[in-house]
Chain A
Amino acid sequence: MAAAETEACRSLPLALSGDRNVAINRSANAAPAKPRRRHPGPVRIWHWLNLWFLIVMLMSGLQIFNAHPALYWGSASDFDAPWLEMYAIRDSEGGILGQTALGPWTFDTTGVLGYSQVGERGAVRGFPAWSTLPSYQFLSMGRLWHFFFAWLFAGAGALFVLYALFSGHLKRDLWLSGPEWRGLGRDLLGHLRFRFPSGSGYNGLQKLSYLGVLLVALPLMVVTGLCMSPTFNAAAPWLLDLFGGRQSARSIHFLVAAALVLFFVVHIAMVLLSGPWRQVRDMMTGGRRETSASSQRRHDDDTA
């Protein structure tokens, strides 16, 4: 861990200085005795920091959502027609049921959405206590967490995008080649059959999902979040129009957050299916970029 940190500290300033970085990359290429690490320092630092930032953002975000657990399209709230709503009803025996209405459908979600336990007591609330920060209903505190970590999350994200652009990480490791674009369909079918490419570097589908998170989902979270701020609306009314109004921005904010949770679940599943110990270790220490021979050997080990 200590080695990883010093490595990372050394490479972090490179994110800010493109020219020096290129020079160092070139000298690294000239000396094959020192193989490039599988995950560069800035990738590892951002990866682990961002994990904690996103957890706090998600849980405090659900706390804020719970203050009015309903979503709408447009500028204002049509209280009679939310497209998503969580609430509670009484059944014929006087028990309380949690309900989730999604468009024309209504689901019984007692215990999780609409009505769930907070400590010993049942409570009418959107998302359950274990998913929100703080656990009990406390909107002002949820907002404090959310708007403090928003700065860390957006700041680290912006720095990382700059690093990816100027270090060549984006072009070298994330951008898809022509054949990779064309092979996405085959990649998807392979993944669905639990057959994963085992070459060095990321596969096409993996690259596309990382690009989607880094360049689409995370920036969308920041911008749709800002579009819910009335003062920011005065600064950039055109951005609000772009998303179709404040309630639309709130809905998109929620949906992209849901997409990020889905990414997180698939990401964890992929790590578990591809040698979790090695994956986590490499994301901490950097690991070694594999030659095709060593990759083949690992593949044999994993299947053995």
Chain B
Amino acid sequence: MTRRSDDSVARSTRRRFLQRAALGAATLGLAGCDRLSQNERVIGTLSLAETLNLRVQRFLAGARGMAPEYPASMIDAPFRPNGSTDPQASRYRELAANDFAEWRLSVDGLVETPLSLSLAELRALPARTQITRHDCVEGWSAIGQWQGPVLADLLDRAGVRDEARYVVFHCMDQLGDEDFYYESLDLAEARHPQTILAYSLNGETLPVANGAPLRLRAERQLGYKMAKYLSGITLVTDFDAIGGGRGGYWEDRGYTWYAGI
């Protein structure tokens, strides 16, 4: 009797030891991978693929390769919003309360003629209407119809200076903390024919949840590029001095600046 219980104690101790050893080994392996994921040099090496992705994909798609457009029957309504859906910043609340009548979009930085446009002025410009697929970095997609002026036309109106390389989009919403959302595109993507500033979604005024009064649509990019609640556009040579210096709100938090994949 005693012997058998000794045996079973020994066996259960051994089993516990083996379980712990296996768990320990697994944890060690995982911890190793997790440590690698926090190592600056590893992150730097992995990030090398970003430039390669940008170059190869730009080459394959060309400057004017068009994102697929869809028939009206495939439109998703309501269109799933993401990120900020109801900005609380006081400036935004005031503008929204008055239907954005006092809102203006500024276009400044490295331009010949800085612009300041009201919603009515933007609506009076020639517009493009497109039914496109929105791809979230999380993996889901939604199809919507967007309408608004082509960004390239607006840039031409302001006259982009030769030294400008990027277009920075300033937003009126804060996501989670004190930082205002912002994003940036290089001039190649900014001048793509499907890159528009949309004031309309599915035939109606752009809802607050989807970025009222004006949002960016860059149809060959993932959703986080498409800044909502726009207040201004600045042309720059680099974005070192803006936000965290990486060209966007999510880029400052570890996401790649190139969001074509």
CB of B251 to closest CB in A, whole Å: 9
A234 CB contacts on chain B under 8 angstroms: 61, 65-68, 219-220
Residues from chain A with a CB closer than 8 A to the CB of B46 are 144-145, 148
- Given A75-B143, A141-B43, 20 more contacts at CB 8 Å? A68-B136, A75-B70, A76-B141, A76-B142, A76-B143, A77-B142, A134-B34, A135-B34, A143-B137, A144-B49, A230-B222, A230-B260, A230-B261, A231-B57, A231-B60, A231-B260, A233-B220, A234-B68, A235-B57, A246-B141
Chain A, interface SS category: helix
- Interface 0/1 of A208-237, CB less than 8 Å to B: 000000000000000000101111111111
Tell me the smallest distance from the CB of B85 to a CB of chain A, in Å.
15
If the complex has contacts A231-B58, A237-B68, are A67 and B30 also in contact, measured as CB distance less than 8 A?
A: no
Write 5 A-B pairs (CB below 8 A) sorted by A numbering: A70-B140, A77-B80, A135-B30, A139-B137, A145-B37
| A→B interface (CB under 8 Å) | 59, 64-65, 67-68, 70, 72, 75-77, 79, 129-130, 133-136, 138-141, 143-145, 147-148, 150-151, 226, 228-237, 240, 246-247, 250
Say whether, besides A64-B139, A135-B30, A148-B49, A231 and B221 are in contact (CB < 8 Å).
yes
B139 touches A65 (CB 8 A): yes
- Contact of A76 with B76 at beta-carbon distance under 8 Å, contacts A143-B256, A230-B222, A246-B141 already known: yes
Residue of B nearest to A75 (CB): B133
A165 to chain B, nearest CB (A): 24
Q: Which residues of A contact B34 (CB under 8 A)?
A: 134-136
Chain B: CB-nearest residue to A129: B30
Closest 3 pairs between A and B when the two form their complex, measured CB to CB: A231-B260, A229-B261, A235-B60
Interface residue? B255 (CB, 8 A)? yes
B47 at the interface (CB under 8 A from A): yes
Residue ID in chain B nearest A77 by CB atoms: B140
Residues of A within 8 A of B43 (CB): 141, 144
- Residue B120, interface by CB 8 Å: no
CB distance from B29 to the nearest CB of A (A): 9
Task: Let me know if A232 and B37 touch, CB within 8 A.
Answer: no
B18 to A: closest C-beta gap in Å: 17
